[in-house]
């Protein structure tokens, strides 16, 4: 019998803790996501089903989506009995201590056919976060520092309060060796993780090229997951990957480019590229903590 457990490295979304309904994983590399019993569930199932056989989607783009294995009835995490679940690739199964960032893409997260109440709910959150100003917002993250320090993993409420400066700082801390122990990130892993032919920037650029042409789908409230392993990165191996997740609000494109998603993706690319073009110097010229802090804020436009 397959033993199911709560995911160790989930950074956003509903979590299967304290009697709540959420996803589960097994030891064979599968991720079980509860199939919602309304149009969200049917929409996501229809998307995954169509994705698996739609020959309009290039193979080099399919790599950005989790593998879909179908649906299965399993015991729900909240103890309510057997419920249908989407069976997906567990993106963390090959990682020991992954650094993960969930970035919700789009300046608007509500879809046109949504109820007025739902639109107002999403619009409020989009205004209160960086979705409207940047075209994306960070929904969750963790960055591994060391066995002694563990992970830098800000609380959900803290992340919800991120402003533009916080986003800049988080994207730098995400690729730093010292996300916990120092307020000023060293960005020592930026070149390995963000740059290069197989780095996150190149993958985002490839996805952007597809979105500049594709009119098959419109992705509302969808996230880009950025994942890497610090041990590999420290050894100079990127092995970083991006994946698209959360498709409960995907609509048919009807021949129209998804400018909402494309705009947010371009904005995220700009932020990542800026880190590569303006890496923080590890030590200020006079070496003093005050000078270091001043230099950091000047470089990042905080002052």
Residue 298 has pLDDT above 60, yes or no: no
Q: Are strands 223-229 and 98-105 parallel, antiparallel or unpaired?
A: antiparallel
Considering the entire predicted model, what is its pTM? 0.88
Q: What is the CA radius of gyration of the chain?
A: 20
Q: What pLDDT does 9 receive?
A: 84
The string of pLDDT tens digits covering residues 42-95 is 999 999 999 888 899 999 999 999 999 999 999 998 888 899 999 999 999 889
The 10 Å Cβ neighbour count of residue 168 is 18
Cα–Cα nearest to 182, from 101, 82, 296, 90: 296
pLDDT band at 1 (very low <50, low <70, confident <90, very high): low
Contact 194, 272 (CB under 8 A): yes
Calpha distance 265→207 (Å, rounded): 9
Domain ranges of the chain: 24-89, 98-277
Q: What pLDDT does 280 receive?
A: 63
User: In the predicted model, what is the mean pLDDT of the chain?
Assistant: 88
Q: What pLDDT does 161 receive?
A: 94
Query: Among 106-120, 178-192, 217-231, which is the least confidently predicted range?
Result: 178-192
Fold of 98-277: D-amino Acid Aminotransferase; Chain A, domain 1 (3.30.470)
Calpha distance 132→267 (Å, rounded): 11
Cα–Cα nearest to 60, from 258, 207, 214: 207
Residue 113 has pLDDT above 70, yes or no: yes
Q: What pLDDT does 159 receive?
A: 95
Angle 214-219-222 from CA coordinates, rounded to 5°: 135
Cα–Cα nearest to 125, from 140, 110, 115: 110
Residue 287 has pLDDT above 80, yes or no: no
H-helix or E-strand spanning residue 228: strand 223-229
The whole-number average pLDDT for the span 7-22 is 78
């Amino acid at each position: 019998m397959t033993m199911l457990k709560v995911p160790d490295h989930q950074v956003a979304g509903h979590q299967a803790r304290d009697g709540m309904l959420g996803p589960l994983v097994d030891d064979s590399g599968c991720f079980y996501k509860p199939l919602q019993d309304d149009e969200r569930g049917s929409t996501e199932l229809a998307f995954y089903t169509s994705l698996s056989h739609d020959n309009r989607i290039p193979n080099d783009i399919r790599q950005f989506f989790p593998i879909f294995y179908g649906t299965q009835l399993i015991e729900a995490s909240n103890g309510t009995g057997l419920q249908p679940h989407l069976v997906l690739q567990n993106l963390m199964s090959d990682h020991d201590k992954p650094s993960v960032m969930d970035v919700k893409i789009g300046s608007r997260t509500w879809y046109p056919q949504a109820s007025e109440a739902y639109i107002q709910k999403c619009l409020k959150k989009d205004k209160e976060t960086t979705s409207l100003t940047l075209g994306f917002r960070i929904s969750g993250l963790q960055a591994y520092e060391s066995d002694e320090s563990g992970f830098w993993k800000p609380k959900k409420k803290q992340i919800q309060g991120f402003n533009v400066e916080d986003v800049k700082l988080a994207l730098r801390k995400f690729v730093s060796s010292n996300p916990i122990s120092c307020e000023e990130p060293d960005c020592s892993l930026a070149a390995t993780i963000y740059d290069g032919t197989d780095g996150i920037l190149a993958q985002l650029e490839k996805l952007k090229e597809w979105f500049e042409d594709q009119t098959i789908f419109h992705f509302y409230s969808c996230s880009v997951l950025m994942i890497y392993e610090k041990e590999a990165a420290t050894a100079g191996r990127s092995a970083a990957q991006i994946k698209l997740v959360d498709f409960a609000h995907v609509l048919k494109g009807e021949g129209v480019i998804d400018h909402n998603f494309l705009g947010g993706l371009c904005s995220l690319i700009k932020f990542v590229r800026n880190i590569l073009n303006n890496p923080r110097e590890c030590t200020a010229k006079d070496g003093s903590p005050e000078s270091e802090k001043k230099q950091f804020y000047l470089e990042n436009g905080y002052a």
